[in-house]
């Protein structure tokens, strides 16, 4: 198994921000820099393989998925924010709601709310470098799949599945899963995406919603009760050419392993029917019982059984890290999942 990791994410650290007392608050900044080293060290301790740095594929794979204007804003947002405000951490205060405005603001305050859809995605001095490195990690992992590897893990941080083509949020700035999937599509691969994070991957859905060349399946908490609230319902099947190529499996709060495996079985049937060349998994360990921002009841051992069910597809598989915030058990969850994929 190939493993890729970009350690330069450490300068992007939400632990610098004030944390509310309630970890289930929508402004709880749980996506901390410590997550990366915890997973990295757990992988090494488990002997799953050498951890390698990513190659740099430049901006081209990123702008195949994201609008140039948003990418340019992310590159300069912190510098502009400091110059305009004298403050160090950029967070939006005003948001464009409903339809996107025809006129784009000039002020950095306005642009923050134009491109960002929540208050959970601060921009620090190191945010662009971290997001860029995370995307390069995903593309490097995709290149390994294209070169014949059967199982590759991209330890991406920050995560990406909430970032849409021209919006970011939910701790996410660039959509690593979409960038890697699009890169593989351009290499002639037929791609199925399986999102296993606790929260619906609204950004991934948005990017591929009108397309038939990428299948997206997501198993997540019911958005009537959980973030991202406005996307991820079972009747969202895609539009135009993409109709019936998007499938959501929202589950109730308190879901445990048996019910989760039932939903997974249905999703895997959809994937088999699509006959993909490769499976891309957005993996989140925030489905673990007692995760501070989750509400499911999976165990560490559950991830190995989930993975074993997935291996029946017998597909080259790229795993991209998304969420997972119960730090003492985060590494064990990732190891359980990857070992399950590796051994079947």
Residue 18 among the catalytic residues: no
Q: How many Å from the N-terminal Cα to the C-terminal Cα in the chain?
A: 13
Nearest to 286 by CA among 226, 339, 232: 226
In the structure encoding, which two tokens stand for residue 334, read together? 């990732």
Phi/psi at 123 (5° precision)? -115, 115
Q: Going edge to edge, which strands form the sheet with 246-251?
A: 51-52, 2-5, 151-155, 317-321, 278-283, 191-195, 214-221, 246-251
> For the chain, where are the alpha helices, taking DSSP H only?
35-46, 60-63, 68-85, 108-115, 127-146, 176-186, 202-208, 257-274, 300-311, 327-343
Query: How far is residue 262's CA from residue 256's CA, in Å, rounded to a whole number?
Result: 11
Catalytic pick among 6, 9, 162, 199: 162
Q: How many residues does the chain have?
A: 344
Nearest to 231 by CA among 277, 287, 164, 184: 164
Q: Which residues are catalytic?
A: 162
């Amino acid at each position: 198994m190939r493993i890729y990791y970009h350690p330069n994410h450490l300068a992007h650290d939400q632990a610098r921000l004030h944390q509310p007392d309630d970890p289930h608050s929508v402004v709880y900044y749980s996506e901390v820099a410590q997550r990366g080293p915890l997973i990295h060290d757990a992988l090494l301790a488990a002997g799953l393989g050498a951890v390698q740095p990513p190659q740099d594929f430049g901006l081209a794979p990123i702008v195949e998925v994201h609008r140039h204007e948003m990418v340019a804003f992310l590159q300069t947002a912190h510098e502009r924010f400091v110059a305009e405000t004298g403050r160090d951490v950029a967070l939006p205060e005003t948001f464009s709601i409903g339809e996107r405005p025809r006129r784009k603001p000039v002020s950095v305050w306005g642009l923050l709310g134009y491109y960002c859809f929540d208050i959970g995605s601060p921009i620090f001095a190191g945010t662009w470098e971290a997001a860029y490195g995370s995307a390069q990690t995903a593309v490097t992992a995709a290149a390994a799949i294209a070169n014949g590897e059967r199982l590759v893990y991209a330890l991406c941080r920050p995560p990406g599945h909430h970032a849409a083509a021209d919006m970011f949020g939910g701790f996410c700035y660039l959509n690593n899963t979409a960038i890697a999937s699009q890169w593989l599509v351009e290499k002639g691969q037929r791609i199925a995406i399986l999102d296993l994070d606790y929260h619906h991957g609204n950004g991934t859905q948005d990017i591929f919603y009108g397309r038939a060349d990428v299948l997206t399946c997501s198993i997540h908490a019911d958005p009537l009760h959980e973030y991202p609230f406005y996307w991820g319902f079972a009747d969202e099947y895609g539009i135009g050419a993409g109709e019936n190529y998007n499938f959501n499996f929202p589950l109730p709060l308190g879901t445990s392993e048996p019910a989760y495996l039932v939903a997974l079985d249905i999703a895997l049937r959809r994937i088999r029917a699509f006959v993909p060349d490769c499976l891309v998994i957005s993996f989140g360990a925030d489905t673990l019982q007692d995760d501070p921002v989750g509400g499911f009841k999976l165990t560490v051992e559950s991830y190995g059984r989930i993975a074993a069910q997935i291996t029946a597809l017998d597909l080259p598989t790229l795993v991209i890290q998304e969420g997972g915030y119960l730090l003492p058990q985060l590494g064990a969850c990732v190891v359980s999942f990857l070992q399950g994929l590796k051994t079947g």
